[in-house]
Structure 1
Amino acid sequence: MRVLKPATLARVLLLGTVLVWGGSFVVVKAALGDASPLLFNLIRMSLAAVVLAGVNWRELHGVTRAQVRAGALAGLFLALGYQFQTFGLVRTTAAKSAFITGLVVVFVPLLTLVPRFRPAGMRAPGWTAGVGACLAFGGLLLVTTPAGTAAKDIFGTIGLGDLLTLVCALAFAGHLLILARVSKGMGAGLLGTLQIADAAGVMLVTLPLEPVHFFHLTGRLVVALGVTSVLATAAAFTIQSYAQQHLPATQTAVILTLEPVFAWLTSMVVLGERLSGRSMAGAGLILISIALIELLPGTIHSTEIPG
């Protein structure tokens, strides 16, 4: 039997991860009819933490306080990203949620314009960051506003779900910058376990912010929890770390930018959601902005887009 080369295996695994992330928007959107958003996230992250602890239990022996603090900080921003994303997903479409979440790769270079936020060894973003940000902003307006909206009414038509998802993208951008600072000297398994466990703790603490909790055990909810906890969280973060050890940043970026496309196609097939011509143009601008920032010279390393 022919064994795949590490780089080839990394591409295959990463593409599978992006497919899972893209499809998870639809899975979660459907499951939120059976479980309230914050309760769903708490169960999802707790299951992922148990799985990762079981796999990486050897690495947990001898963990230092500094490593615990690093995992706690990363877990805090990861939890905030998922909380805002899931709350937003209740109030917007799966396709819109995916494209807006994809703006994380625009926010990361913009945040690194501030030297304090820039991890050691990361160069300042080039001119492509500014151009990409402008394109992404225009694309966001097209995706989130109905056709025929007057210019003076544009910001009044952006829904609460869209705004919550935008905050989610900012939180995920902060999470990535924190990982860039704390990941040196820590194994991927250890860091992944610590941050996922801490994210579960943050979700437990913030659970009372949800006014009403409900949980109806259904087949689609079981599938959603299995997909999101085991595949889209525990396995996906491990695979993404492995892939970036064997692939150039540009190749990783090209694969990761397919996530909102997969989410849109899945939502169209499964949920019957459609993007208007205006929204499709906006989605195209967002994808162009992501590709511009990630692929042209003068940019920083690629980023991940959790789903």
Structure 2
Amino acid sequence: MEKKTLRSDILLILTSAIWGFAFVAQLVGMDHIGPYLYNAIRFALGSLSLMPLILFFGKNRREAYKSSGLNRKGVLIAGIAAGTVLFLGASLQQVGLQYTTAGKAGFITGLYVILVPILGIALSHRTGLPTWIGAFFAAAGLYLISVKGGFQIGRGDLLILACSLFFAIHVLTIDHFSRKIDPLVLSAIQFAVCSFYSFAVAVFREPIILEDILQATIPILYGGLGSVGIAYTLQVVAQKDAPPAHSAIIMSLESVFAVIGGIIFLAEGMSLRGYIGCGLMLLGMLASQWDVIFRNSIKKEKKMQISPQK
């Protein structure tokens, strides 16, 4: 179990890194195309990128369906549910970025760290003290990293706040279905659903010009193949062996990687306040794993006491 937990943590950290750098791609992409069209194309790419793997592992996938007790209709319903929540969260974030700063957006989005355990209580999820302590330090770190100056709630901030709520619901939705459905299939369906909704809105609200799409090729490719195809799939795989509140805290590290991406690609500097925020984020991650660390240390100590002296 400890090896699975470590693997999940590594995958979640990698997920947060990809998502953090995606903030740069999302902002650059909207220099050329609208938010709904950007999401429509990138989520379509993410879904298509998984098709070769789904076909390759087809036989094992049919056996997985039998063991889970779900038929194709059940799998499709699960994918539509996850994709609908994902569409609402991703759309609110992408549109909200047009009306607020990236720093505020990063902090407010990260509030799902707090919302996941709160919503989890309603679903009878156990949330221990270490998780709450970790969530507190993570939220404090997000604030120091992302918020500069006064904090005022404007139109964009409210949209991002709503986005964080749906991302929290998405984490819990993935936690519910990832133990029953193959992660590749679940990911491909939810991406396709999100892309369909986004394109439907884009047709009525945004201009669709091929030249503009081509100018946004690099941000779209990163957002589609990296942020969607790889990162969201890693999230689904990792959450098979990680509690949702714990997963949310680790994934909130995307704010740290967003700062790093800004430094590398946008020549943005980071103050001492930012470095302190990164430290609090790391402290929050470690605090959330205190139970696992403590149990492992006790087990090792017992093994040393039981093993014969040589």
Per the normalisation by structure 2, the TM-score is 0.72
1:35 partner amino acid: I
Aligned residues: 279
| Residue 294 (structure 2) pairs with residue 294 (structure 1) | no
Say which one has the larger Rg: 2
5+ unaligned residues in a row in structure 1: which ranges?
Answer: 148-153, 299-307
1:236 partner amino acid: A
Contact 2:141 2:278 in 1 (8 A): no
Correspondence for 1:103: 111
| Residue 38 (structure 2) pairs with residue 47 (structure 1) | no
Contact 1:49 1:193 in 2 (8 A): yes
1:188 partner amino acid: P
Distance change in 2, residues 1:134/1:40 (3 Å)? same
Displacement of 1:174 in angstroms is 0.6
Contact 1:106 1:132 in 2 (8 A): yes
Distance change in 2, residues 1:106/1:292 (3 Å)? farther
Correspondence for 1:160: 155
| Cα distance between partner residues in 1 of 2:213 and 2:198 | 20
1:129 to 120, 129, 132: 132
5+ unaligned residues in a row in structure 2: which ranges?
Answer: 66-70, 293-310
Correspondence for 1:189: 184
SS of the residue 1:228 aligns to = helix
Contact 2:141 2:279 in 1 (8 A): yes
Distance change in 2, residues 1:223/1:54 (3 Å)? same
Correspondence for 1:305: none
Displacement of 1:71 in angstroms is 0.9
Displacement of 1:164 in angstroms is 1.4
SS of the residue 2:98 aligns to = helix
The C-alpha deviation readout for 1:68-122, integer Å capped at 9, x for no partner, is 11111011001111101111122233343233222222110011232xxx16xx3
| Cα distance between partner residues in 1 of 2:83 and 2:222 | 20
| Higher deviation after alignment, 207-216 or 191-200 | 207-216
Displacement of 1:146 in angstroms is 3.0
Displacement of 1:252 in angstroms is 6.4
Superposed counterparts of 1:271-286, under 5 Å = 271-273=266-268, 280=274
Identical amino acids, percent of aligned pairs: 28
| Cα distance between partner residues in 2 of 1:112 and 1:6 | 22
Contact 1:140 1:282 in 2 (8 A): no
Displacement of 1:123 in angstroms is 1.6
Correspondence for 1:303: none
Superposed counterparts of 1:1-307, under 5 Å = 15-57=13-55, 58=58, 59=61, 64-114=72-122, 118=123, 122-124=125-127, 126=129, 129=132, 132=135, 136=139, 143-144=146-147, 146-147=149-150, 157-207=152-202, 210=205, 216-219=212-215, 221-243=216-238, 256-273=251-268, 280=274, 287=281, 291=285, 294-297=288-291
The C-alpha deviation readout for 1:36-59, integer Å capped at 9, x for no partner, is 111111111111112223331334
| Higher deviation after alignment, 185-194 or 13-22 | 13-22
SS of the residue 1:34 aligns to = coil
| Cα distance between partner residues in 2 of 1:85 and 1:284 | 22
| Cα distance between partner residues in 2 of 1:138 and 1:6 | 27
Distance change in 2, residues 1:255/1:139 (3 Å)? closer
The C-alpha deviation readout for 1:163-198, integer Å capped at 9, x for no partner, is 211211111111111122222321111111121111
